[in-house]
Structure 1
């Protein structure tokens, strides 16, 4: 078939088939990353047979896998059965300064393969499917039954934070702030970045016990920032520690009830003054709409949550007694959304 034979109708059908094959591409990427094929390719093209020998794999199958990924721009095949890196494949290396290895592994974690086929049920009911499939809530499952998935999740969150923490820290207004509290701060990469940038600050890392148990060594006793840091285990659904500035980065992604509960706890803490900053994506302003809307559906499946539009977020904040005072973009897909306690209505 020549180029002139390939009609617009055929191109349209091919594109639709490519989209439907997305699951296959996920499996290809997961396999390549798990086998560490990206880590075995350096700056020069390498034979598939050589890669197979290093990793004890089947030579022809390695070539077929890399060729399939090369069709999507992940790797290149400059000569038959010889493969080289592209921009897309290079960031799959664990030693790349902007590695997405663990973000990819999290996207294709084992539990997701069981959850996605039930999207129709979630769309019909508007309810999460994870508890029915696994017999418990998502984060309880990670903590109790899936330590490897939990470790991948934590590493993925750290990788994601590594991309954006400096941008967020740069954009924060620290006027009048002495104590910053990172609510749901994971292992503390963002808090560490903030404390390093603003040496007069003290910080509180606040997250679940299973998470803060592996907090950044710099924040723990003996670390270089330990004298300015408290690591506190707890749940934002029960309350939040005292502070001058509260940071909630990509935290408000569960169902509306738990989101409002968290925001009310923040509002209660703001009674004595202070500010809160939500650091998150907005569906209607995202520079990464495919990623943001895909994550929105994943959150529906596992925790009954969502990514928010401005309107949705404004409504939830209002229910919690809060209001948006400022929204600022960062040099990433994240926005800084400053919130404060809503002023009482006139005459109230």
Structure 2
């Protein structure tokens, strides 16, 4: 097996946060140190998350336009209690989600607009997904997960996470599907813009969900064919562009299957995006199956969030802990993902940032 030393292509590194020093910029003697105030805010983080969830569920952002609006009028539109709504908006405004004007009205900010359902970069369903009812049950058990190194979901609900989601929490499952669709649609454009498909005639999207990355690539490259492989229920709901009658259907094969069991696809390029985070065994099996299916010289691109070398580490490290809780999985470091790919027999080359949240690991299947 041939391996190469990966080359990391990055832009300017993110600026480190300024150090927090006791006494710097403090108010008069006797006031709380800045670090104590910050810690108090952090431990009350559940209130902040709950406030975002409430605003998303109530549809507050959708009932506001470009002009400031009074709480009374907004409460009328939403059929809520005026005083309670004012309190919610004031709490969110402290964090830049909505803003309060000098005369007590409220208006949009860049962040609050992303809670609108019709926003092109909407995070409404991501906000709902990360605050679903089961999350409030799981987070207090984080110390148990840290002690054991495994998930706590079976202890809480008597079954694994996805069985619970689809058997007992249909509303949450639908939120999950919408959140993943939103996230995939937005990132697919970035992945498609990044990848050079020179010499590629057939691209396989492994565990690609509804196939948004594949669809975006095929739209950019009219001479390329594609295969989408995912679980039967998933490919049945593939992007309409890929299904029968869709604009790209004549260049696509939809293959129901489990990448952890077998990948019956011969392609020039295999894309694996955000599926190597459930557990180490699943990651190893999926990568080995790619190598088993691929011909020598085939390209493999793994796209993942990282818990290092990323300006989005606050978000990604939080998701890393959530994965520990619900499925016993994890987000990768650069080192751990390179190790898994190399162990599977993939020669890792360049590593590129896709956007502030994702990195692309480029590899090839060497001559055996």
The bucket for the TM-score relative to the shorter chain is: over 0.9
* Partner Cα separation in structure 2 for residue 6 and residue 265 of structure 1: 64
Q: What is the Cα deviation at residue 254 of structure 1?
A: 1.2
State the partner residue of 1:299. 323
State the partner residue of 1:196. 219
Matched, 1:230 2:253: yes
State the partner residue of 2:294. 270
Query: 103-112 or 143-152: which moved more?
Result: 143-152
Q: What is the Cα deviation at residue 258 of structure 1?
A: 1.1
State the partner residue of 1:16. 39
State the partner residue of 2:200. 177
State the partner residue of 1:313. 337
Q: What is the Cα deviation at residue 272 of structure 1?
A: 5.4
Q: What is the Cα deviation at residue 80 of structure 1?
A: 5.1
Q: What is the Cα deviation at residue 216 of structure 1?
A: 1.3
Matches within 5 A, 1:33-44: 33-44=56-67
State the partner residue of 1:244. 268
Segments of structure 1 that go 5 or more residues without pairing to the other structure are none
Match of 2:242 among 219, 229, 239: 219
Matches within 5 A, 1:69-218: 69-79=92-102, 81-218=104-241
* Partner Cα separation in structure 1 for residue 306 and residue 185 of structure 2: 20
What secondary structure sits across from 2:276 in the alignment?
coil
- Checking the alignment, whether the CA contact within 8 Å between 2:209 and 2:235 is kept in structure 1 is yes
Judging changes above 3 Å, is the alpha-carbon distance between structure 1 residues 6 and 94 closer, same or farther for their aligned structure 2 residues?
Answer: farther
Segments of structure 2 that go 5 or more residues without pairing to the other structure are 1-25
* Partner Cα separation in structure 2 for residue 252 and residue 301 of structure 1: 16
Q: What is the Cα deviation at residue 340 of structure 1?
A: 2.6
- Checking the alignment, whether the CA contact within 8 Å between 2:153 and 2:325 is kept in structure 1 is yes
What secondary structure sits across from 1:285 in the alignment?
coil
Q: Which has the higher contact order (CA 8 A, sep 6+)?
A: 2
Q: What is the Cα deviation at residue 142 of structure 1?
A: 2.3
- Checking the alignment, whether the CA contact within 8 Å between 1:48 and 1:59 is kept in structure 2 is yes
What secondary structure sits across from 2:286 in the alignment?
helix
Q: What is the Cα deviation at residue 74 of structure 1?
A: 0.6
What secondary structure sits across from 1:336 in the alignment?
strand
State the partner residue of 1:256. 280
State the partner residue of 2:357. 333
Q: How many residues align?
A: 342
Query: 333-342 or 179-188: which moved more?
Result: 333-342
Q: What is the Cα deviation at residue 97 of structure 1?
A: 1.3
Q: What is the Cα deviation at residue 342 of structure 1?
A: 5.5
State the partner residue of 1:280. 304
Judging changes above 3 Å, is the alpha-carbon distance between structure 1 residues 4 and 190 closer, same or farther for their aligned structure 2 residues?
Answer: same
Query: 32-41 or 167-176: which moved more?
Result: 167-176
Q: Deviations over 1:9-29 (max 9, x none)?
A: 432211111011111111100
- Checking the alignment, whether the CA contact within 8 Å between 1:154 and 1:187 is kept in structure 2 is no
Matched, 1:51 2:74: yes
- Checking the alignment, whether the CA contact within 8 Å between 1:314 and 1:323 is kept in structure 2 is no
TM-score by length of 1: 0.93
* Partner Cα separation in structure 1 for residue 30 and residue 204 of structure 2: 58
Q: What is the Cα deviation at residue 128 of structure 1?
A: 0.9
TM-score by length of 2: 0.88
- Checking the alignment, whether the CA contact within 8 Å between 2:297 and 2:366 is kept in structure 1 is no
